[in-house]
Amino acid sequence: MLNTLKTTWGFLLTLIEKNSPLKFSGENLEDIYNYLPISETLSTSGQPTARQFCAIRDAGFTTVINLLPQGIENALDGEADLVTSLGMNYIHIPVAFFRPTDDNFNTFAAQMNRLQDEKIWVHCAANGRASAFIYRYRTAILKENPESVKWDVREIWEPFGVWKTFMNW
């Protein structure tokens, strides 16, 4: 519950930062909103800023998967062009927050399987979608123990509603 409140508060700060001259975030990986390293080759987060994508590249990530639909409040305009100009692959799988689908997941899983030898960064607005998709991928495809994987998700939020069903929580 506390992590869900932290995530909500952090999301509001990202909106303020995007729409005002105020800046709350730094340029390091650890400064990225709701950054969660899963392994040496996989990390998730909320929406990185333009300058934070440089840190992602400098850390050796080769692919960015964005689960945000177009036009979401804290989405980064021109993200695809920015990421590819930095030499990384960019994959966009738009997922509606209250309507994640099995088709969304199947597309995501196919990309993850195709890129299994790459260093991948998965993000959305606040790391709710991203952590949910990674949870389902790790438990359904990689067959990791759901109870141990839940701890990673709970670092970010406590899934509710449609997400519990989507994740087989």
CATH of the domain at 151: 3.90.190.10
Q: Are strands 63-66 and 89-92 parallel, antiparallel or unpaired?
A: parallel
Residue 58 confidence (pLDDT): 98
pLDDT for the residue 20: 58
Q: How far apart are CA 142 and CA 2, in angstroms?
A: 29
* Burial of residue 100, with CB atoms counted within 10 A of its CB: 0-12 exposed, 13-18 middle, 19 or more buried: buried
Number of domains in the chain: 1
Tens of pLDDT, residue by residue, the chain (169 residues): 666 666 666 666 656 665 556 555 668 999 999 999 999 999 999 999 999 999 999 999 999 999 999 888 889 999 999 999 999 999 999 999 999 999 999 999 999 999 999 999 999 999 999 999 999 999 999 999 999 999 999 999 999 999 999 999 9
Read off φ and ψ for residue 37, nearest 5 degrees. -75, 130
CA–CA separation, 78 and 75 (whole Å): 9
Q: Which of 151, 131, 140, 111 is nearest to 7 (CA)?
A: 131
- Contact between 12 and 5 under an 8 Å Cβ cutoff? The reply is no
**pTM, two decimal places:** 0.87
Q: Which domain holds residue 152?
A: 2-167
Looking from the CA of 45 toward its CB, the CA atoms found within 13 Å total 21
Q: What pLDDT does 2 receive?
A: 61
For residue 60, give both structure tokens: 């050796």
d(CA 115, CA 32): 23
Q: What is the pLDDT of residue 124?
A: 98
Residue 7 pLDDT: 61
